[in-house]
């Protein structure tokens, strides 16, 4: 990549940032370069008498990631530590190491109290050598997971509480205003858990200062989390439910957050109900994979136990639209790359779609298998990895590094009706002087998809689920319970690709590349 192109990417990334992000990035750069590392010494002034005896209803158990003998499985990668846990374990990448430091396994179903305390003891013993101990995102999750474990098991120990409070104080100096998004929300949730655990009004004030404005901004009108990843939406919904659980079960502080948490939880649940397929799967659009977040079913059942109602709004601000009939479900993405100032989980997938037929995935999103900065990550975020159109192999938005977006496609919605949606984006305008327009018309028996490149030549990509059997006959693709007919195409190429339903899991499948000039009509009939 040329120096000039790198500068262009950087400019088109930085210009969307909020001033507070730039200010905090400079602050943390100076702090990390010239400042002293924050101390992680336990707070010795914690009085057990001041601690609350909290109630917390049964939440969702975390996935089983720990087994006796210091064996851990995260992101489908297992490692057993034979000589003590290496909290900096580097072999599987940064996200695996983060998961090790989150301590979510403390709240898996089958872990014993002794096992959990032993893990916490080992963490504390080696804290001075832990390179992630000052990273605010793992700190936030670890605070919440320790507190959940302590509350559930009735543990009230001065030493543990001292280290817990030390992490909360450290987090105060490391709030993620340089990133914002879900990271800052997790900081706020951690302060809320800490406030209730220690009955600390100053921590509650800290929590409110983050959660009130961020929940209002980050939860869109249709209930979607604004990073537009169904996986992260479910993660954030679970966290909001846990916070509602905590606040509603304990009579501490004012009730300002209670009503806000209830309002946002109910509309987030509504989005889940809208976007989830009948087989229980979520769309794998943007950064999304199975096995990371609680399932939609688990979240809806949890909400019912908490006495919450589901409030469904029409799909709108998220940019997702869903068409349904008795034998198919199609999710269409006409949303902007977002959020504007933090599109870290966005893919170059504008105007892509997924299709389920008779309760099974048929046309799929490629998914996400890694956050590591490599060719796999680049491909999975690319336009050609999605069910949309490329021109000359280019991406509709400039994805780069692991979580960055430079110049991005902007969408204009032309028709937005229950069974008819039409939109166009300008992602190809700079290089090719043309917009991509896509129209989807939903019928009882299937859908018609119309693509228009105003005379330019492009390629429409369709990615089929693994083991999906079909036959190509002329301009038709014939499956067991569907037929796809292409009109105005130049050629249809069948290629071998892969599907990433989970992290570090890639399954062979096939895709179609349909070349066309100007306009292409794709009719999908479902039986």
Using 50 as the pLDDT threshold, list the residues of the chain that sit under it. Answer: none
What pLDDT, on the 0 to 100 scale, is given for residue 46? 72
Question: What domains sit in the chain, N to C, each tagged with a CATH number?
Answer: 1-33 (no CATH), 63-174 (no CATH), 203-313 (no CATH), 320-526 (2.70.98.70)
pLDDT tens, residue by residue, 21-63: 999 999 999 988 887 766 678 887 776 666 778 999 999 999 9
Contacts of 445 (CB under 8 A, 6+ apart): 325, 525, 526
What pLDDT, on the 0 to 100 scale, is given for residue 48? 62
What pLDDT, on the 0 to 100 scale, is given for residue 321? 98
What pLDDT, on the 0 to 100 scale, is given for residue 47? 67
Instruction: Report d(CA 85, CA 99) in Å as an integer.
Output: 13
What pLDDT, on the 0 to 100 scale, is given for residue 41? 80
Compute and round to an integer the Cα radius of gyration of the chain.
Answer: 24
Beta-bridge partners for 514 = 460, 492
What pLDDT, on the 0 to 100 scale, is given for residue 3? 76
Sole residue written with tokens 């995260």:
74
Contacts of 74 (CB under 8 A, 6+ apart): 65, 92, 95, 96, 99, 100
What pLDDT, on the 0 to 100 scale, is given for residue 522? 98
| 204 phi, psi to nearest 5 deg | -65, -40
Instruction: Report d(CA 36, CA 41) in Å as an integer.
Output: 14
């Amino acid at each position: 990549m040329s120096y000039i192109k790198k500068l262009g990417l950087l400019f088109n990334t930085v210009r969307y940032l909020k001033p507070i992000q730039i200010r905090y990035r400079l602050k943390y750069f100076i702090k990390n370069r010239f400042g002293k590392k924050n101390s992680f010494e336990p707070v010795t002034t914690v009085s057990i008498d001041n601690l609350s005896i909290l109630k917390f209803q049964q939440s969702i158990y975390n996935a089983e990631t720990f087994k006796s003998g210091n064996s851990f499985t995260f992101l489908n990668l297992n490692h057993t530590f034979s000589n003590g846990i290496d909290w900096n374990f580097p072999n599987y990448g940064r996200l695996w190491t983060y998961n090790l430091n989150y301590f979510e396994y403390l709240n898996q179903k089958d872990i014993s109290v002794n096992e959990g305390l032993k893990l916490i003891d080992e963490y504390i013993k080696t804290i001075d050598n832990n390179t992630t101990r000052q990273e605010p995102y793992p700190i936030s999750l670890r605070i919440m997971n320790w507190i959940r474990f302590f509350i559930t098991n009735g543990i009230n120990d001065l030493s543990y509480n001292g280290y817990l409070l030390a992490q909360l104080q450290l987090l105060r100096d490391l709030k993620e205003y340089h990133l914002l998004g879900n990271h800052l929300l997790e900081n706020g949730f951690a302060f809320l858990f800490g406030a209730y655990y220690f009955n600390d009004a100053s921590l509650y004030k800290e929590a409110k200062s983050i959660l009130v404005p961020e929940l209002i901004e980050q939860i869109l009108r249709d209930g979607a989390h604004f990073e537009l990843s169904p996986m992260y939406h479910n993660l954030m919904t679970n966290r909001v439910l846990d916070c509602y659980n905590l606040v509603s079960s304990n009579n501490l502080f004012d009730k300002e957050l209670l009503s806000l948490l209830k309002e946002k939880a109910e509309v987030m649940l509504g989005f889940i109900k809208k976007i989830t397929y009948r087989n229980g799967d979520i769309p794998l659009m943007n950064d999304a994979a199975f096995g990371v977040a609680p399932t939609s079913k688990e979240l809806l059942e949890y909400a019912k136990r908490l006495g919450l109602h589901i409030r469904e709004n029409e799909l709108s601000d998220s940019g997702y639209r869903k068409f349904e009939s008795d034998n198919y479900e199609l999710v269409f993405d006409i949303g902007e790359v977002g959020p504007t100032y933090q599109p870290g989980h966005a893919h170059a997938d504008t105007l892509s779609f997924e299709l389920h037929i008779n309760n099974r995935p048929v046309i799929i999103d490629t998914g996400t298998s890694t956050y590591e900065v490599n060719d796999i990550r680049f491909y999975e975020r690319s336009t050609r990895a999605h069910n949309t159109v490329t021109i000359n192999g280019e991406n509709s938005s400039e994805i780069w590094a692991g979580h960055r977006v430079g110049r991005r496609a902007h969408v204009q919605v032309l028709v937005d009706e229950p069974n008819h949606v039409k939109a166009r984006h300008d992602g190809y305008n700079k290089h090719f002087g043309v917009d991509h327009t896509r129209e989807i018309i939903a019928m009882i028996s299937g859908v018609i998809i119309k693509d228009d490149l105003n005379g330019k030549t492009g390629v429409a990509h369709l990615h089929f689920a693994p083991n999906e059997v079909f036959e190509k006959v002329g301009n038709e693709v014939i499956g067991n319970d569907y037929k796809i007919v292409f009109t105005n195409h130049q050629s249809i190429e069948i290629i071998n690709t892969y599907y990433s339903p989970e992290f570090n899991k890639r399954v062979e499948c096939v895709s179609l590349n349909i070349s066309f000039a100007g306009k292409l009509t794709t009719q999908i009939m479902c039986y």
